[in-house]
Amino acid sequence: MLTAYPQSKTPAAKARPIWIDLCNPEPAELAEVEKLTGVAMPSRASLSEIESSSRLKTREDVLTMSVPMVTHVEGDAPQFAPVGFVLSRERLVTVRFAALTAFDTVAGRFADPAGRPGSGLEVFVELCEEIVDHLADSLEQSATELRTLSATAFHVPDSGGRKAIRSNRVIRAQLRHVGRLGDHLSEKRDILLALGRAIDFASRMTADWNAAQMAQRLTGLKEDVASLDDYEVHLADKVQFMLDAMVGLIGIAQNDIFKILTIVSIVGIPPTLIAGIYGMNFKGMPEYDWAYGYPYGLAMIVLSAIIPLVWFKWRGWF
């Protein structure tokens, strides 16, 4: 879909848009934009390349930049959707392959003649500002979820008995939640790194475009991206700590189960031994002739089970 801003029914105005947005463009739409701008539009494959030389290019005062974006649809796996920016003095052309809230927000500003952007560079700056704002909101949400998980994992009393098994299941669910948060943070870090490089590149290459106000906003954007990058590193460290701690908690819970099984097996050995001794059918065993031989054997079996339990309890093993 091809959309030009500001939108106008006048042919002359339509030929001079300051922003052309291509969303999942058809070959005919790409050809139309290339004819209008005289610049070859990047393909999805070229936008997906990770080398800095491929993501940041300049030719004849036209800047081509790409930023990896990830979209999340409920119930589906994350979708990689790179965004391309082709920026010149006359206009900005964006090439994207997914619906993005930041683009819709900036497009809505063209409805107000007083608040609409006045150049392609200003559109680029406003798009970057919206992307940074959404990333900041997303990082804040991740931080809130991490705080909730931390409080649940480390600030609740230990449970015992049958509840320990349910608690173990809860920890497993939390572990998967933390893993998903780690994936999301990794995606955001990729976006921040690429966006920061694109903003710095645009700031350096447009220094002579007589846009002092835009230069200040670009500088502010670079500072925002740097601060968000530092905050993302902090959250990533916390995610790693949570992963290690939860794996440790699961290990402790499993050790408790193995300890119970070990105690049960050890407690069962002496009674089995005594029952095996008195279960032998030899004629010379005097206990067979006692009137209280059977109660004596039962008492020996019970005592042989109780004594190890008392010993383990005294040692603090359970």
pLDDT in tens, the chain (318 residues): 888 888 665 554 455 789 999 999 888 998 998 888 888 888 888 888 877 777 888 888 889 999 988 887 665 567 788 899 999 988 999 999 888 889 999 998 888 887 788 888 999 999 999 999 999 999 999 999 988 888 877 765 655 444 555 666 777 788 888 888 898 898 899 999 999 999 999 998 888 886 778 888 899 999 999 999 999 999 999 999 988 888 887 777 778 778 888 888 888 888 888 888 888 877 777 877 788 888 888 898 899 889 888 888 887 777
Which backbone phi and psi does 215 adopt, to 5 degrees? -65, -40
Tens of pLDDT, residues 12-66 = 445 578 999 999 988 899 899 888 888 888 888 888 887 777 788 888 888 999 9
- pLDDT value at position 75? 55
pLDDT at position 158 is 58
308 exposure class (CB count in 10 Å sphere: 0-12, 13-18, 19+): middle
Angle between helix 120-154 and 163-205 (nearest 10): 160
Q: What pLDDT shows up at residue 156?
A: 59
Q: Give the predicted TM-score (pTM) of the model.
A: 0.76
What is the pLDDT at residue 161? 45
> Which uninterrupted H or E stretch holds 172?
helix 163-205
Task: Give the residue extent of every domain in the chain.
Answer: 2-256, 279-315
| Side-chain half-sphere CA neighbours of 180 within 13 A | 12
State the pLDDT at residue 71: 80
Q: Which amino acid is at 202?
A: A
* Beta carbons of 18 and 118 less than 8 angstroms apart: yes
Site of tokens 């029952």: 275
Fold classified for 2-256: Beta Polymerase; domain 2 (3.30.460)
Predicted local distance difference test score (pLDDT) of residue 85:
93
Residue 61: DSSP 8-state: T
CA distance 151 to 145: 10
pLDDT of residue 168: 66
Quick one: tokens of 124? 């680029």
Mode of pairing for the β-strands spanning 70-71 and 92-96: unpaired
pLDDT digits (tens, 9 = 90+) for 181-193: 898 898 899 999 9
